[in-house]
């Protein structure tokens, strides 16, 4: 009985979270706004968001109670004891993640009523996506061997589903006018999301089931049923696109019927999925002796590191790969749009972006990423690649410029649109604060000390989400820092070259200080993580940690030196551009028989001087 209540509350929590996210997506990116402000129909969607978020909150509270009762084998009334409940939601990681999601659901339910702009709606959408991802890190995906495969694929599955299922249900709830406007754009999102749902679902099933053994399990039957129904849903999607292609005579009545049936089927499959995630998959092989590496790092212990293994080992970090595939697909789409328009895009930028992406993949799923789980020295190499080398490639790839040149313009001349939203974000107060070179440096170098010289590092190393968070943090802080210093994309703040050089020298010295502090540390900073892995090679953990410090120093300074050279080159180039501009202007003014800039400026100073002299007489 209790396990049925766990599944039911999970189903309602998942479904209402999907509807909340689908409605937030519709409000932020699908329906028309008025110069970034919500339109009248926007107000209706706002209440859909608030109602579904409240449903999400209540069903999440029930899910916490039923899950706890199920774990303790107690009745629901017994777990209503505040002490028991408090220790579950504050001390037990499953309880903490479920509680986090519940709090965010309540936050969305309340704040969505105050939404007035598509900008804040987009922020609430991001917060909701983080909330639905949290429980995945504590689902039984976390207990299966290959963490990166099981957790990563389920993460993509849940996020893609929230766009696909949530989007279809939200569109079904819109009025006819909004549906007509939203569907063409949603159809693109739905296609990408459906592809992601299928691939991630199959990957997740493969991480849990070897079908040969599990053929007779109800778990496998449900997965197979889901696959079959998914094909029906894909057919619906195909019909969607056909109907939409029949411009100008789209049969909206048939379309609305199609969407309603599709939404109903999706709700049914969501129930099947909730059943799957609330019931243990058939165990793969329980006879195996305890494997510390597999249990803690989520992968087999690799042999002692050598050039070949570093180069060819590969343990796919599915979520990271998902993000990289999305980034590359969007970048290629942008370049294709430009090329089709007959505009040029420097191939150097595409190569630089591709190198940045490959470096991230190598340092997360490649040999570097694998060994970073098993030795501090290799972790530091991966950190330097993610935080220093890959970001330089990404920022010199000018992704923001590409987005600004290819994102869709306003659909009715009044709406802000996706491109307008990006421009608004780039010129926002937050962007101005973040791109302040001192702030960028503080985040870039300050987080080094916050991570490695507190217990944070040891805690982060223990879990897949910790590794994922560290990798994403290194990449984003590196991109911010190098965007401010050597970025070619538009920056709300024009940072003088001399300031950039001072900041780079500051970064070099802080980095050197950090590395020396690490090299001279006499205790391990990983909270016993590397020891718990019982690795059979490079047994002196402290020596390996010191090597990590030395690597941090050597590898950290090289990219900063490259950035220094690049800044000097940019400075000289800007100066020669400025000199050419002044020369061109002088020649033009001379041709017009007018004083050039310098002469005008001297004239202005003379006038000032004359006024002063007259004033003093």
Binding site for ligand HEM (CB under 6 A): 14, 139-141, 154, 157-158, 161, 165, 197-198, 201-202, 204-205, 223, 226-227, 230, 233, 266, 269-270, 273-274, 276-277, 281
Asked whether the beta carbons of 140 and 67 are under 8 A apart, the reply is no
Question: Nearest residue by C-beta to ligand HEM?
Answer: 273
Closer residue to ligand HEM in complex, CB, 63/515: 63
Closer residue to ligand HEM in complex, CB, 227/599: 227
Asked whether the beta carbons of 308 and 541 are under 8 A apart, the reply is no
Question: CB of residue 322 vs ligand HEM: minimum separation in angstroms?
Answer: 15
Closer residue to ligand HEM in complex, CB, 31/141: 141
Closer residue to ligand HEM in complex, CB, 276/394: 276
Buried b (16+ CB within 10 A) or exposed e, 559-584: bbeebbebbeeeeeeeeeeeeeeeee
Beta bridge partners of 33: 38
Asked whether the beta carbons of 45 and 170 are under 8 A apart, the reply is yes
Question: CB of residue 436 vs ligand HEM: minimum separation in angstroms?
Answer: 39
Closer residue to ligand HEM in complex, CB, 268/469: 268
Question: CB of residue 324 vs ligand HEM: minimum separation in angstroms?
Answer: 22
- Rounded Cα distance between 89 and 86, Å, is 5
Asked whether the beta carbons of 504 and 560 are under 8 A apart, the reply is yes
Q: Which helix (H) or strand (E) segment is 610 a member of?
A: helix 597-616
Closer residue to ligand HEM in complex, CB, 201/387: 201
Q: Which helix (H) or strand (E) segment is 324 a member of?
A: helix 318-340
Question: CB of residue 532 vs ligand HEM: minimum separation in angstroms?
Answer: 26
Three-state DSSP at 35 gives: coil
Question: CB of residue 229 vs ligand HEM: minimum separation in angstroms?
Answer: 7
Closer residue to ligand HEM in complex, CB, 52/277: 277
Q: Which helix (H) or strand (E) segment is 37 a member of?
A: strand 37-38
Asked whether the beta carbons of 95 and 115 are under 8 A apart, the reply is no
Closer residue to ligand HEM in complex, CB, 276/392: 276
Closer residue to ligand HEM in complex, CB, 131/276: 276
Asked whether the beta carbons of 9 and 62 are under 8 A apart, the reply is yes
The percent of the chain in helix, strand and coil, each rounded to the nearest 5, is 80, 0, 20
- Rounded Cα distance between 19 and 266, Å, is 12
Closer residue to ligand HEM in complex, CB, 10/467: 10
Cα torsion at 21, 120, 426, 326 (round to 10°)? 0
Question: CB of residue 281 vs ligand HEM: minimum separation in angstroms?
Answer: 5
Residue entry with tokens 């190499």: 381
- Rounded Cα distance between 436 and 457, Å, is 27
Closer residue to ligand HEM in complex, CB, 204/547: 204
Residue 300, Ramachandran bin (φ over 0: left; ψ between -120 and 50: alpha; else beta): beta
Tokens matching residue 14: 């998942």
Question: CB of residue 218 vs ligand HEM: minimum separation in angstroms?
Answer: 12
Beta bridge partners of 314: 366
- Rounded Cα distance between 25 and 182, Å, is 10
Three-state DSSP at 38 gives: strand
Question: CB of residue 165 vs ligand HEM: minimum separation in angstroms?
Answer: 5
Buried b (16+ CB within 10 A) or exposed e, 264-299: ebbbebbbebbbbbbeebeeeeeeeeeeebbebbbb
Which spans in 112-146 are helix H?
118-133
Q: Which helix (H) or strand (E) segment is 277 a member of?
A: helix 252-278
Closer residue to ligand HEM in complex, CB, 205/421: 205
Closer residue to ligand HEM in complex, CB, 223/504: 223
Question: CB of residue 153 vs ligand HEM: minimum separation in angstroms?
Answer: 8
Question: CB of residue 133 vs ligand HEM: minimum separation in angstroms?
Answer: 9
- Rounded Cα distance between 176 and 195, Å, is 27
Question: CB of residue 321 vs ligand HEM: minimum separation in angstroms?
Answer: 18
Question: CB of residue 262 vs ligand HEM: minimum separation in angstroms?
Answer: 10
Question: CB of residue 460 vs ligand HEM: minimum separation in angstroms?
Answer: 23
């Amino acid at each position: 009985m209790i396990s049925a209540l766990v599944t039911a509350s999970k189903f309602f929590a998942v479904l209402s979270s999907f509807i909340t996210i689908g409605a937030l997506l519709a409000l932020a990116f699908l329906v028309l706004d008025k110069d970034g402000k919500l339109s009248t129909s926007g107000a209706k969607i706002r209440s859909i968001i608030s109602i579904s978020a409240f449903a999400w909150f209540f069903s999440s509270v029930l899910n916490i109670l039923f899950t706890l009762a199920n774990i303790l084998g107690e009745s629901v009334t017994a777990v209503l004891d505040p002490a028991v409940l408090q220790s579950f939601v504050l001390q037990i990681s499953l309880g903490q993640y479920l509680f986090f999601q519940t709090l965010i659901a309540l936050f969305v339910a309340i704040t969505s009523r105050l939404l007035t702009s598509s900008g804040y709606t987009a922020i609430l959408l991001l917060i909701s996506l983080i909330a639905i991802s949290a429980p995945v890190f504590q689902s039984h995906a976390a207990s299966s061997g290959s963490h990166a495969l099981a957790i990563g694929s389920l993460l993509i599955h849940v996020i893609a589903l929230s766009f696909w299922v949530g989007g279809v249900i939200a569109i079904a709830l819109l009025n006819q006018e909004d549906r007509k406007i939203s569907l063409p754009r949603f159809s693109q999102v739905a296609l990408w999301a459906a592809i992601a749902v299928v691939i991630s679902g199959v990957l997740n099933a493969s991480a849990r089931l070897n079908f040969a053994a599990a053929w007779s399990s109800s778990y496998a039957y449900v997965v197979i049923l889901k696959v079959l129904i998914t094909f029906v849903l894909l057919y619906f999607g195909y019909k969607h696109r056909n109907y939409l292609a029949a411009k100008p005579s789209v049969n909206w009545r048939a379309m609305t019927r199609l969407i309603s049936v599709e939404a109903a089927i999706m709700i049914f499959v969501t129930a099947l999925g909730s059943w799957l995630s609330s019931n243990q998959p058939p165990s793969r092989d329980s006879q195996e002796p305890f494997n510390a590496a597999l249990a803690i790092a989520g992968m087999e212990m690799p042999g002692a590191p050598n050039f070949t293994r570093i180069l060819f080992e590969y343990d796919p970090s599915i979520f990271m790969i998902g993000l990289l595939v999305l980034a590359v697909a969007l970048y290629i789409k942008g370049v294709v749009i430009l090329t089709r328009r007959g505009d040029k895009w420097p191939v150097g930028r595409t190569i630089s972006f591709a190198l940045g992406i490959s470096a991230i993949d190598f340092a997360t799923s490649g040999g570097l990423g694998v060994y970073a789980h098993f030795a501090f020295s290799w972790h530091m190499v991966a950190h330097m690649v993610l935080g220093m080398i890959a970001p330089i490639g990404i920022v010199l790839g000018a992704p923001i410029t590409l987005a600004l040149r290819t994102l869709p313009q306003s659909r009715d001349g009044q709406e802000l649109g996706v491109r307008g939203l990006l421009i608004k974000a780039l010129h926002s107060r937050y962007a101005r604060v973040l791109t302040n070179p001192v702030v960028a440096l503080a985040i870039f170098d300050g987080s080094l000390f916050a991570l490695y010289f507190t217990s944070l590092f040891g805690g982060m190393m223990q879990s897949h989400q910790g590794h994922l968070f560290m990798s994403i943090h290194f990449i984003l802080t590196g991109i911010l820092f190098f965007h401010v210093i050597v970025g070619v994309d538009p920056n709300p703040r024009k940072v003088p070259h001399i300031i950039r050089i001072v900041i780079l020298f500051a970064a070099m010295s802080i980095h050197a200080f950090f590395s020396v502090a690490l090299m001279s540390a006499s205790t391990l900073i990983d909270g016993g993580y590397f020891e718990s892995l019982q690795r059979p090679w490079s047994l002196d953990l402290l020596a390996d940690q010191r090597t990590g410090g030395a690597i941090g120093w050597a590898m950290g300074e090289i990219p900063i030196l490259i950035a220094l050279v690049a800044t000097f080159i940019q400075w000289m180039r800007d100066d020669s551009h400025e000199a050419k501009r002044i020369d061109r202007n002088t020649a033009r003014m001379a041709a017009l028989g007018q004083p050039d800039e310098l002469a005008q400026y001297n004239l202005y100073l003379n006038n000032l001087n004359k006024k002063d002299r007259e004033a003093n007489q």
